[in-house]
Structure 1
Amino acid sequence: MILTCMNPVVAAAPALMVVDRPGLRAEIRRIAAAADRRVDERALPVGRHDWMGASVVLLDTAAARECAAARCPRRPGVLLVTEDEPGLPDWQTATAVGAEQVLALPDAAEALIAAFAANAHGGGGRGVVVAVAGACGGAGASTLAAAIALTAARRRFRPRTLLLDAAPFGGGLDLLLGLEKAPGPRWPDLAVEHGRVAADALHAALPGIGGITVLACTRDGSAPAPPPTAVRAVLDAVRGAGDLLVCDLSTERGAHADQLLDAADLVVLIAPAQLRAVAAAEPTTTRLRTRNPNLALLVRGPAPGGLRPADIATALDLPLLHTMRALPALSHQLERGGLPLHARHPLHRAATAVLGVLTSTGAPPRSGCTAPREPIRHAFAAQRPKPPETAVDPVAPHDVPAGPAVTPLMPEPGRR
């Protein structure tokens, strides 16, 4: 279990150094000692927890080139260090890996000490990113993502929650939540200057409902996919502010989807308990797992052929996070009254199960390099699908259970 120190008075997070030249390593050790900073020395490839848990990441040009090729995500506090005056290849590599500065040592010793001080307690922030993918079209990824976001906001899981629409041809999460007439920017309206956006400004500008803000796609086809620069800016803003980002990937592919998968602390694959859906889930699982090993399965009914959730998990070689029964009345409820989320509703229970995984370690998990990708030790990480003889009963088709009246989450347009 990886725990991150939350008290900056207790200890400063160590810096990470991946440098090959002995002379440069010795100089960094000397400067770190002067700054009273511990430095962990690592060889390539860089592990995900090392990358995201370090206060500062110090790379030489060769290491930076490898980390960029491995798609290590952008984070604050990455520095490229050289012994000589940096040249064009050094600057190009620094841009590729997302380095904030290029420092020629020992001349730039004071700048390195300042970087140690500015990034004393970890560069990855405390924000959490969850991505929800569908095994096939209509699997329910958008609805589940919305349920996770709304449930998290009610529980005050993080200071703020942003629901991000990454499926430009999915009809729009604003429409799902009754915000289609609410003022505020959608993806094409999001102007990102210098690759950054302030989290406070983002939450203040976006339409909201039920304690969450929503960044939705448009329905006019003007912007087929969120631009990578804007996606990166939103990810950095949410993580840096300690907020929760819930991404609706549905069945989307492309550069923006890869960015979100790379950054996610948890990827949830929702699959209907139907033969064709499971067949579609097999290549989807392979694709998702190559981007992020922190992948869990949520199975929903109905199961017309009697497929059992544990059997589906075994076939896909995925840990079974949760099973949700059929909700034949859900479409009607969404059309007429909003998303039902009382405590006994299956959607609420599914969302609670997802959030429970993220809190089971006692600290928000960290995402990191995609190669190699080390699975975070989540509560489900050690689980393997149960053998068929101990599998749970098939998902049976039946309606929403009796319980408290459903409170619609459909405000007047523009009401937050």
Structure 2
Amino acid sequence: MNLLAKPPAVGLAPALVLVRDHRLRAEVRRVAAAAERATDERAMPVGRHAWSGAGMVILDTAAATAAAAEGCPRRPGIVLVTEGEPAVSDWQAATAVGAERVVALPACAVELVEQFAEHAESRTGEGVVVAVAGAGGGAGASTLAAAIALRAAARRSRRDTVLIDGAPLDGGIDLVLGMENVPGLRWPDLVIEDGRVSATALHNALPAAAAGLAVLSCGRHGAGRSPAELTPAAVRAVIESGRAAGDLVVCDVSAERGPAADTMVDAADLVVLVVPARLRAVAAAEVVASYLGERNPNRGLVVRGPAPGGLRGAEVAEVLGLPLLAAMRGQSGLAARLERGGLSVRRRGPLRDAADAVLSMVGAR
């Protein structure tokens, strides 16, 4: 061991290495050491969270083919490596998985070093991402997501908070906040070039629900107009912009399922599942909890009352196998408040307590 060699750079997410051949894997390990980057060596299949959270992904042709077949999402920083010059099958696998480069080792080791340098940013950063999903329509995920964002802004737990609407068919989260007439960009107005967006520009362009709280809503499409189209690339750009700036990013996934919603779940530091305390909702939540667990292991549960059959939060948590963050009793006047003027969490109550419990879990005190 060279005692003078520098350790891997601190704060950088390890590169996920999916290479079966031991000689090729050893070569990747050697290049990573030269680039001062840590690696996380695994075999296919890998969880979606490991795939999306890695600083970059290095794979061989077999792993690339398997990843494409499993539907692993395209992302920046995918590199396919080959032993010697790549063949047609190698290029085909690279295209299928969305690789940015094909690098022949050991001849082009310098090119792999350059890729390590290009993708050297920390993917954990100072920002925190929370995704709020519902066990079904009307579970209360949008209301809780909005409450978390409002409480974070009120407590100034982060420099800024961004609330992202991920449910194009739900009418717009700006309605929940009573700010549908506040000027500013919504998803249909947002144009993101080259997969990047400035956090400062985003905050300046989006409507503000409170000091330090920017809201990116889907808005309303109305008769004859199509709903906002959320692409995974645009969603990822907005989330990573907030994360890099040190913001709290709250994503309202609600009951959405699809590529954009998957991107939110994959990127989250915590996924909160909201389940009404009713038998059918709990049965539906078993399927949703399994889906979320396949993409992200960092999950928590909020059970929302009233409970007509007397279901307790701890009982629901035991059935779903999830840690219970909060059990909310029914909150009188909440539905009327949402209809007449938008959500407010200035006074103490079950919703505010649940939002604070989520913020405490992600360390946003």
AA of the residue aligned to 1:82:
T
Tell me if the contact between 2:32 and 2:39 (Cα under 8 Å) persists in the aligned partners. yes
Q: Structure 1 residues 358 and 89 mapped into 2: Cα distance closer, same or farther (>3 Å)? A: farther
1:292 paired with 2:292, answer no
Partner of 2:109: 109
- Alpha-carbon distance between aligned partners in 1 of 2:40 and 2:219, rounded to the nearest angstrom: 46
1:309 paired with 2:313, answer yes
Superposed CA deviations along residues 255-298 of structure 1, whole A, max 9, x for unmatched, are: 32233233333222222223443344344334434443433221
Q: Structure 1 residues 132 and 15 mapped into 2: Cα distance closer, same or farther (>3 Å)? A: closer
Higher mean C-alpha deviation, range 174-183 or range 155-164 = 155-164
Partner of 1:24: 24
Q: Structure 1 residues 327 and 60 mapped into 2: Cα distance closer, same or farther (>3 Å)? A: same
Partner of 1:206: 206
Equivalent residue for 1:350, pick from 331, 343, 354: 354
Tell me if the contact between 2:179 and 2:342 (Cα under 8 Å) persists in the aligned partners. no
AA of the residue aligned to 2:136:
C
Partner of 1:227: 231
Partner of 1:162: 162
Q: Structure 1 residues 161 and 91 mapped into 2: Cα distance closer, same or farther (>3 Å)? A: farther
AA of the residue aligned to 1:193:
E
- Alpha-carbon distance between aligned partners in 2 of 1:292 and 1:109, rounded to the nearest angstrom: 33
Q: Structure 1 residues 42 and 227 mapped into 2: Cα distance closer, same or farther (>3 Å)? A: closer
AA of the residue aligned to 1:57:
V
Equivalent residue for 1:320, pick from 320, 324, 338: 324
Tell me if the contact between 1:132 and 1:268 (Cα under 8 Å) persists in the aligned partners. yes
- TM-superposed deviation, 1:351: 0.9
- TM-superposed deviation, 1:148: 0.9
Q: Structure 1 residues 51 and 208 mapped into 2: Cα distance closer, same or farther (>3 Å)? A: same
- Alpha-carbon distance between aligned partners in 2 of 1:150 and 1:48, rounded to the nearest angstrom: 30
- Alpha-carbon distance between aligned partners in 2 of 1:51 and 1:254, rounded to the nearest angstrom: 17
Give the TM-score taking structure 2 as reference length. 0.82
RMSD: 3.2
Tell me if the contact between 2:84 and 2:106 (Cα under 8 Å) persists in the aligned partners. no
SS in structure 1 at match of 2:253 = strand
- Residues 12-411 of structure 1 aligned to structure 2 (within 5 Å): 14-46=14-46, 51=51, 55-72=55-72, 76-87=76-87, 89-120=89-120, 122-210=122-210, 211-219=212-220, 220=222, 221-223=225-227, 225-342=229-346, 344-359=348-363
Tell me if the contact between 1:195 and 1:233 (Cα under 8 Å) persists in the aligned partners. yes
Tell me if the contact between 1:75 and 1:236 (Cα under 8 Å) persists in the aligned partners. no
Q: How many residues align?
A: 354
Tell me if the contact between 1:167 and 1:225 (Cα under 8 Å) persists in the aligned partners. no
Q: Structure 1 residues 173 and 53 mapped into 2: Cα distance closer, same or farther (>3 Å)? A: closer
Tell me if the contact between 1:86 and 1:104 (Cα under 8 Å) persists in the aligned partners. yes
- TM-superposed deviation, 1:144: 0.4
SS in structure 1 at match of 2:81 = strand
- Alpha-carbon distance between aligned partners in 2 of 1:294 and 1:150, rounded to the nearest angstrom: 23
- Alpha-carbon distance between aligned partners in 1 of 2:257 and 2:355, rounded to the nearest angstrom: 24
AA of the residue aligned to 2:327:
T
- Alpha-carbon distance between aligned partners in 1 of 2:170 and 2:99, rounded to the nearest angstrom: 35
Q: Structure 1 residues 50 and 303 mapped into 2: Cα distance closer, same or farther (>3 Å)? A: closer
Tell me if the contact between 1:343 and 1:349 (Cα under 8 Å) persists in the aligned partners. no
Tell me if the contact between 2:187 and 2:230 (Cα under 8 Å) persists in the aligned partners. yes
- TM-superposed deviation, 1:213: 1.4
Tell me if the contact between 1:151 and 1:348 (Cα under 8 Å) persists in the aligned partners. yes
- Alpha-carbon distance between aligned partners in 1 of 2:147 and 2:184, rounded to the nearest angstrom: 21
- Alpha-carbon distance between aligned partners in 2 of 1:279 and 1:84, rounded to the nearest angstrom: 53
Higher mean C-alpha deviation, range 254-263 or range 275-284 = 275-284
SS in structure 1 at match of 2:271 = strand
Higher mean C-alpha deviation, range 225-234 or range 68-77 = 68-77
Higher mean C-alpha deviation, range 323-332 or range 79-88 = 79-88
Question: Percent identity, aligned pairs only?
Answer: 60
Q: Structure 1 residues 162 and 87 mapped into 2: Cα distance closer, same or farther (>3 Å)? A: farther
- Alpha-carbon distance between aligned partners in 1 of 2:268 and 2:337, rounded to the nearest angstrom: 30
Task: In structure 1, list runs of 5 or more residues that go unmatched.
Answer: 1-7, 363-416
- Alpha-carbon distance between aligned partners in 2 of 1:87 and 1:55, rounded to the nearest angstrom: 27
Superposed CA deviations along residues 28-70 of structure 1, whole A, max 9, x for unmatched, are: 3443444444545433344677656654432222223333444
- Alpha-carbon distance between aligned partners in 1 of 2:209 and 2:196, rounded to the nearest angstrom: 25
Tell me if the contact between 1:131 and 1:249 (Cα under 8 Å) persists in the aligned partners. yes
- Alpha-carbon distance between aligned partners in 1 of 2:103 and 2:173, rounded to the nearest angstrom: 44
Give the TM-score taking structure 1 as reference length. 0.73
- TM-superposed deviation, 1:71: 4.8
